[in-house]
């Protein structure tokens, strides 16, 4: 929730909004001493169940940075359901800054536009569609002729719903390009309106505005990037949902059960926007590609979506599972439950309940541990360097919690050439037609 302070001219968050610092990064190895659940588990459960949270009645606001704020008002003003747009600043540490202060640098602020809208007439999802098609998503050094951090593209999200949709939109957009998406997604804290002469500039100064926009090359570049979609006119009501349905159809064609696909989509939406250091946390490819695998240093800090206290993990996992998943132990070969399992079915994470591997990708490696040629989806797992045995290995972890699963080696059979050597204790096998284990959003409380 936000309120507008007419004395300071700033929108600020009230109690009940998204709490700042709700989840801090934890070290890759070792357990957090007193961490609590850092993800809204109820929200995760809703994703798994395929439900959506209804928006409250009344108006909402969205804050977008796309270079010069003069040029970001018009695209939204033309949308039915947008009540107003305001040029201003957000993301910095200086209260109520002037345009001159922000332009000179050192405030940390971005030029942004605040969009006030009626969610009953236009959705945040549609606003995102318009936003993306009015920026160059590949340019993180500014936008068009305006250079520097002040003009870098950014989406400021207010609450879990906006954050989820913004990250999902970035992932959908990323599928269109080979270069990395440069648009940042950051939590909203405050908005400061710019001076009056900046408001509705395209209306009040049409000749100067058109001259500036043309000289800046904005429209030319937007057409190069987006083609006929440049400008984002007539945004579809559910472009993110449509992309998700396409993904589900592709998985259905490969024979995955509907519940497995629901969980895969839930995990995808949660982890797709997470960064580890200055790189994406998971491999953002639609299809599994070992060449695109992102391997992080063993001490890379990660804001894992699920962080439980040590006591919570001990209650959730029995002795051997706890030792393997949370302390990186390795079970004995040929003396574990699943190394020679040949039944058709799905292998789930014993830590979180997310699907990890399919029996269709399991093979007999002769090592004494269950082995697979690939994960069930590219972002089900994440990868870290492991130098614990005086050699470089690649550790495989559950992407939701960072829990240890095993290692991957480049000595597997076709078609991938990979051997995902997993611990049975890290997995829960469910035969074809069986009921999957609870997802952590349902049960880990």
What are the residue numbers of the active site? 68, 421
Whole-angstrom Cα distance, residue 114 to residue 342? 56
Instruction: Give the contacts of 165 (CB within 8 A, at least 6 positions apart).
Output: 124, 125, 128, 240
For the range 182-185, what are the long-range contacts, defined as Cβ-Cβ under 8 Å and sequence gap of 24 or more? 182/137, 182/138, 182/139, 182/140, 182/141, 182/152, 182/153, 183/132, 183/135, 183/137, 183/140, 183/153, 183/154, 183/155, 184/140, 184/152, 184/153, 184/154, 184/155, 185/154, 185/155, 185/157, 185/273
Whole-angstrom Cα distance, residue 295 to residue 382? 8
Contact predicate 384/296, CB 8 Å: yes
> How buried is 14 (Cβ within 10 angstroms: 0-12 exposed, 13-18 middle, 19+ buried)?
exposed
Whole-angstrom Cα distance, residue 162 to residue 63? 10
Give the pair of three-digit tokens for residue 226: 């987006």
Give the pair of three-digit tokens for residue 127: 């606003």
Whole-angstrom Cα distance, residue 34 to residue 24? 12
**Mind giving me the DSSP string for 232-296?**
--S--TTHHHHHHHHHHHHHHHTT--HHHHHHHHHHHHHHTT-EETTEESS---SS--GGG--EE
């Amino acid at each position: 929730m936000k309120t507008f302070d007419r004395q300071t001219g700033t929108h600020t968050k009230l109690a009940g909004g998204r709490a700042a610092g709700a989840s801090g990064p934890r070290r890759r190895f070792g357990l957090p001493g007193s961490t609590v659940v850092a993800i809204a588990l109820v929200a995760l459960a809703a994703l798994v169940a395929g439900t959506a949270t209804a928006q409250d009645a009344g108006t909402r606001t969205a804050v977008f940075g796309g270079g010069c704020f003069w040029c970001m008002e018009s695209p939204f003003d033309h949308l039915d359901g947008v009540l107003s747009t305001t040029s201003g600043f957000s993301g910095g540490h200086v209260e109520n800054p002037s345009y001159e202060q922000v332009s000179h640098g050192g405030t940390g602020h971005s030029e942004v536009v605040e969009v006030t809208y009626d969610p009953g007439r236009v959705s945040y999802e549609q606003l995102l569609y318009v936003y993306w098609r009015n920026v160059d998503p590949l340019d993180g050094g500014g936008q068009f002729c305006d250079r520097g951090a002040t003009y870098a593209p950014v989406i400021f999200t207010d609450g879990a719903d906006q954050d989820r949709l913004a990250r999902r939109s970035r992932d959908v957009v990323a599928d269109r390009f080979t270069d990395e998406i440069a648009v940042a997604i950051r939590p909203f804290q405050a908005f400061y309106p710019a001076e009056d002469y900046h408001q509705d500039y395209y209306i009040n100064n049409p000749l100067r505005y058109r001259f500036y926009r043309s000289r800046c090359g904005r429209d030319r570049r937007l057409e190069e990037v987006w083609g006929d979609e440049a400008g984002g006119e007539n945004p579809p009501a559910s472009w993110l949902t449509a992309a998700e349905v396409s993904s589900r159809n592709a998985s259905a064609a490969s024979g995955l059960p509907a519940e497995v696909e629901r969980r895969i989509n839930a995990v995808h939406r949660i982890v797709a926007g997470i960064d580890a250091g200055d790189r994406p946390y998971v491999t953002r490819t639609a299809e599994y590609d070992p060449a695109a695998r992102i391997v992080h240093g063993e001490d890379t800090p990660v804001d894992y979506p699920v962080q439980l206290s040590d006591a919570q993990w001990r209650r959730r996992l029995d002795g051997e599972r706890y030792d393997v998943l949370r302390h990186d132990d390795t079970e004995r070969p040929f003396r574990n439950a699943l190394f020679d399992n040949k039944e058709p079915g799905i292998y789930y994470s014993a830590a979180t309940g997310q699907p990890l591997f399919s029996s269709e990708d399991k093979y007999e490696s002769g090592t004494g541990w269950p082995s697979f040629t690939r994960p069930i989806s590219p972002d089900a797992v994440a990868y870290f360097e492991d130098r614990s045995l005086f050699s470089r290995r690649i550790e495989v972890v559950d992407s939701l919690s960072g829990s240890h699963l095993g290692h991957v080696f480049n000595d597997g059979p076709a078609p991938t050439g990979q051997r995902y050597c997993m611990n049975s204790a890290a997995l829960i096998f469910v035969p074809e037609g069986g009921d999957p284990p609870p997802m952590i959003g349902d049960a880990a409380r």
